[in-house]
């Protein structure tokens, strides 16, 4: 039986402090000395920022893979297991989360417990698709999420200076990119790879719409990422190329489908499992940009086993919580040369006697990958509407 304890947690500071009352001197009288020796009184409401704290009951935090206790207030909230059920979030629509119960074949439309909304967690959404939760059923198919379990992996991005969790508890991600309509965006692939590795997710690169191009012209892309150790799959929903291989990859665990708008994520899922009937749309002939078809992430159970998270197409992808000095660690081709740089804090941008730039000059590092690194180091976003 898990131990419980009381802790003080900080709430999200989304409320301003009360303003002073106006016209404080209107009722002031010189001969009024009652306030000079006014007796002190007990303040009921805390002053300032102290009012944004609260005492809650938590379970003792579990230890992570390194043996350190996990510090996650939302994941250690105590719940009454007699009245709550475990489940998994399969869709999120604004303030409503659709939860599939684990103990019965039923889905519940759940709100989120107020304390989870107000905990000072630096994120855009407290509940994400793939989360393991405890919810309290109510009338019919309604319920309330009481607790969000700690996440073992996350796919996140930065959105308006906050963390946006696209999907959680994912084993691998298929980074889908189209060879044509709208075309390859290699800097976007690089950013997805970094986000996946940071979130403890295995990245797999999918080059879709192979029926629209001469595939021999893109062998250098396949070879580039294959040599770096990433699995690359060439697919086409039109002629069925690579579909069987994708079905094998998705047969176990949870897989996220993500990529730019219009690259054909929903078309690939329809080809892998006829009957899903996911909405698809053509790429705009006027702008050659993808149109948003999938508007919300959804967790789907596949007939051949496994689960897939179909995510909305993105128009911008910004990494979250990665400092410029940390970027070099996510470029595997840099690693043999970083210790050979003259300066231990070399940024590989302007320094002399830089082993990484020397390897670039000798053709041991791809020029495009190095340019992706420079943009990431400068924290420049990749605009996909270009």
pLDDT tens, position by position, 121-177: 555 678 999 999 999 998 889 999 998 998 999 999 888 788 889 999 999 999 999
Domain that holds residue 272: 158-317
CB atoms within 10 A of CB 46: 10
Q: Which of 131, 150, 169 is the last residue of a domain?
A: 150
pLDDT digits (tens, 9 = 90+) for 197-242: 999 999 999 999 999 999 999 999 999 999 999 999 999 999 999 9
Instruction: Specify whether 174 is located in the same domain as 220.
Output: yes
Pairwise pLDDT comparison (6 vs 359), residue with the higher score: 359
Q: Which of 150, 172, 187 is the last residue of a domain?
A: 150
If we measure between CA atoms, which residue out of 36, 20, 166, 37 comes closest to residue 92?
166
pLDDT confidence of residue 103: 86
Pairwise pLDDT comparison (382 vs 124), residue with the higher score: 382
pLDDT digits (tens, 9 = 90+) for 249-268: 999 899 999 988 888 888 89
Instruction: Specify whether 267 is located in the same domain as 289.
Output: yes
Instruction: Specify whether 220 is located in the same domain as 353.
Output: no
Q: Answer whether 306's CB lies under 8 Å from 253's CB.
A: yes
pLDDT at 290 over 50: no
DSSP 340: G
Instruction: Specify whether 195 is located in the same domain as 261.
Output: yes
70 found inside a domain: no
> What is the three-class DSSP state of 345?
coil
302 found inside a domain: yes
Q: How far is CA 211 from CA 219, 242, 373, in A?
A: 14, 11, 31
Pairwise pLDDT comparison (10 vs 349), residue with the higher score: 349
359 found inside a domain: yes
Mean pLDDT of 348-365: 96
Instruction: Specify whether 190 is located in the same domain as 236.
Output: yes
128 found inside a domain: yes
76 found inside a domain: no
Q: How many residues does the chain have?
A: 386
Tell me which of 1-5, 26-30, 251-255 is least confident: 26-30
Which two three-digit tokens encode residue 284? Answer: 């705009």
Domain count within the chain? 3
Assign residue 175 the CATH number of its domain.
3.40.50.300
Counting residues of the chain whose pLDDT is more than 70, the rounded percentage is 72
The top-scoring range by mean pLDDT among 25-39, 135-149, 327-341 is: 327-341
Contacts 24+ apart (CB under 8 A), 17-21: 17/48
Q: Answer whether 210's CB lies under 8 Å from 236's CB.
A: yes
**Averaged confidence pLDDT in the chain:** 81
Instruction: Specify whether 205 is located in the same domain as 298.
Output: yes
Instruction: Specify whether 202 is located in the same domain as 348.
Output: no
Instruction: Specify whether 164 is located in the same domain as 135.
Output: no
Instruction: Specify whether 164 is located in the same domain as 215.
Output: yes
If we measure between CA atoms, which residue out of 198, 191, 197 comes closest to residue 371?
191
92 found inside a domain: yes
pLDDT confidence of residue 4: 63
Assign residue 139 the CATH number of its domain.
2.40.50.140
Residue 172 host element (H or E): strand 172-178
Instruction: Specify whether 177 is located in the same domain as 266.
Output: yes
Band (334; pLDDT cuts 50, 70, 90): very high
pLDDT confidence of residue 220: 96
Where would I find the H helices in the chain? Answer: 114-118, 186-198, 219-227, 243-249, 265-272, 355-361, 367-377
Instruction: Specify whether 195 is located in the same domain as 304.
Output: yes
CB atoms within 10 A of CB 62: 13
Q: Taking the CA atoms of the chain, what radius of gyration do you get in angstroms?
A: 26
Q: Which of 293, 317, 341 is the last residue of a domain?
A: 317
Instruction: Specify whether 185 is located in the same domain as 297.
Output: yes
Q: Provide the whole-model pTM.
A: 0.78
According to DSSP, the β-strands at 107-112 and 96-101 are antiparallel
């Amino acid at each position: 039986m898990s131990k419980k304890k009381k802790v003080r947690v900080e709430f999200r500071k989304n409320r301003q402090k009360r303003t002073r009352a106006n016209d404080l001197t209107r009722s002031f009288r010189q001969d009024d000395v009652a306030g000079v020796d006014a007796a002190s009184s007990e303040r009921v409401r805390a002053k300032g920022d102290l009012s944004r704290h609260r005492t809650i009951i938590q379970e003792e935090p579990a230890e992570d893979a390194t043996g350190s206790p996990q510090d996650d207030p939302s994941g250690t909230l105590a719940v009454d297991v007699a009245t709550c059920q475990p489940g998994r979030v399969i869709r999120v629509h604004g303030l409503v989360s659709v939860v599939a119960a684990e103990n019965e074949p039923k889905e519940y439309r759940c709100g989120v417990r107020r304390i989870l909304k107000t905990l000072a967690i630096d994120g855009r959404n407290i509940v994400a698709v793939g989360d393991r939760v405890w919810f309290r059923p109510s009338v019919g198919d309604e319920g309330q999420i009481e607790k969000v379990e700690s996440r073992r992996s996350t796919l996140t991005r930065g959105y308006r200076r906050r963390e946006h969790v696209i999907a959680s508890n994912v084993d691998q991600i298929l980074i889908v990119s189209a060879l044509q309509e709208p075309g390859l965006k290699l800097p976007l692939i690089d950013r997805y790879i970094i986000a996946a590795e940071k979130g403890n997710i295995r990245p797999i690169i999918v080059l879709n719409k192979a029926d629209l191009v001469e595939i021999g012209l893109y062998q250098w892309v396949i070879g580039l990422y294959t040599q770096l150790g990433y699995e690359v799959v060439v697919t086409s929903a039109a002629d069925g190329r690579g579909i069987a291989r994708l079905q094998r990859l998705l047969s176990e665990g949870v897989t996220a489908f993500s990529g730019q708008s219009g690259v054909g994520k929903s078309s690939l899922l329809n080809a892998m499992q006829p009957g899903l009937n996911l909405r698809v749309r053509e790429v705009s002939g006027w702008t050659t940009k993808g149109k948003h078809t999938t508007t919300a992430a959804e967790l789907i159970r596949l007939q051949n086993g496994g689960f897939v998270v179909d995510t909305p197409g993105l128009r911008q992808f910004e990494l979250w919580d990665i400092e410029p000095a940390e970027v070099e660690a996510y470029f595997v081709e840099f690693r043999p040369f970083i210790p050979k740089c003259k300066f231990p804090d070399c940024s590989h941008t302007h320094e002399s006697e830089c082993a990484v730039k020397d390897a670039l000059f000798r053709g041991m590092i791809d020029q495009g990958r190095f340019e992706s690194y420079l943009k990431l180091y400068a924290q420049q976003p990749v605009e996909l509407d270009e």
